[in-house]
Structure 1
Amino acid sequence: MADQTQDEEASPEVQKRIQASFDRQGLMSHLGARISHIAPGRVHIVLPSRPEVTQQHGYVHAGATSAIADSAGGYAAFTLFPEGTDVLTVEYKINLIAPAVGDHIEAIGTVLKAGRTLTVCRLEVFGVQDGRRRLVANGQQTLIRVNGPEQ
């Protein structure tokens, strides 16, 4: 799954379902995050750097970095789930490997293994400054497919 091309886009129906779910997330709205790319098994989320998301040294806070990584992985998995289902994180681990600095940070969630119930994703977060990307965090996540809300 992880070797799919970055240029491939999800179907319009899947993109609409992912974006609608993302738009219901209060935390992503509060942080100012947005989805920048939706492909089968891969989602990118961008978070602009601004004082409200930084810690005391001026770096993007680990909580904000982790939150967008978690959402990117969750939505990457969700792109592969059938209509009428939903996604929840079971667990994730993230390593903060460099200060999160730049004009913005970008989280990329990529499905490594899609199962009937559990899906495993790779999480990467890059600091982006003047078009140059630097890896600032990486991790792995397990997600569970659940039945969607009853209509």
Structure 2
Amino acid sequence: MDILEFGRGILQKQPFSVLLGAELEKFEQGFAELHLPVRDELKQQHGFVHGGAVSYLADNALTYAGASVLGQVLTLEMKINYSRPAIGERLIARAEVESHGKRQAVCSCKVYALKDGEEKLCAIAQGTVLVTG
């Protein structure tokens, strides 16, 4: 089994990720890309994707990126900056490992909203993930 299929299996064991409809599109050493199809249940009153859904996607992408170099991890901390409302058909989170040791990794993530074939940056996150085992 390759790392992408392994990662997709892990995602399917996360009830919250399944509820939201998250999809793991890329997973390789030091990098992860998750997608979230946008539907009305994920939007707030102005029609934008709720910040909690954007934050979830960034958090999970950061964790996947860190896990690719460390194994089983949990998020220790995360900071997110929202740069524009998330409007579109799909959110795309691309996370990469910036630095890591044996027990933790610092990762960054950019979240894009895909609308009519164009990606627009809507959030930037940074987090630290910690080995759990």
TM band (smaller chain): over 0.9
Question: Does 1:61 pair with 2:50?
Answer: yes
Q: d(CA) in 2 for partners of 1:18 and 1:80?
A: 13
List, as ranges, runs of 4+ consecutive aligned residues in structure 1 with deviation greater than 4 Å: none
Gaps of 5+ in 1: 1-11
Q: Percent of aligned positions with the same letter in both sequences? A: 34
Q: Computing the radius of gyration over CA atoms, which structure comes out larger, 1 or 2?
A: 1
Of residues 21, 27, 34, the one that matches 1:32 is 21
**How far did 1:14 drift?**
2.3
Q: Which residue of 1 aligns with 2:127?
A: 141
Of residues 90, 111, 114, the one that matches 2:97 is 111
> Contact between 1:18 and 1:78, CA under 8 Å: does it hold in 2?
no
> Contact between 1:18 and 1:79, CA under 8 Å: does it hold in 2?
no
From the two aligned structures, give the one with the greater helix fraction: 2
> Contact between 1:54 and 1:61, CA under 8 Å: does it hold in 2?
yes
Aligned residues: 133
Counterpart residue identity of residue 116, structure 1? K
RMSD: 1.1
**How far did 1:15 drift?**
2.3
Which whole-Å deviations, capped at 9, do the CAs of 1:3-30 have from their partners, x for residues lacking one?
xxxxxxxxx4322332221111111111
Q: Which residue of 2 aligns with 1:100?
A: 86
Q: d(CA) in 2 for partners of 1:64 and 1:136?
A: 12
What's the TM-score, normalizing by structure 2? 0.94
Gaps of 5+ in 2: none
Q: d(CA) in 2 for partners of 1:25 and 1:130?
A: 30
Q: d(CA) in 2 for partners of 1:71 and 1:59?
A: 20
Counterpart residue identity of residue 126, structure 2? Q
Counterpart residue identity of residue 43, structure 1? A
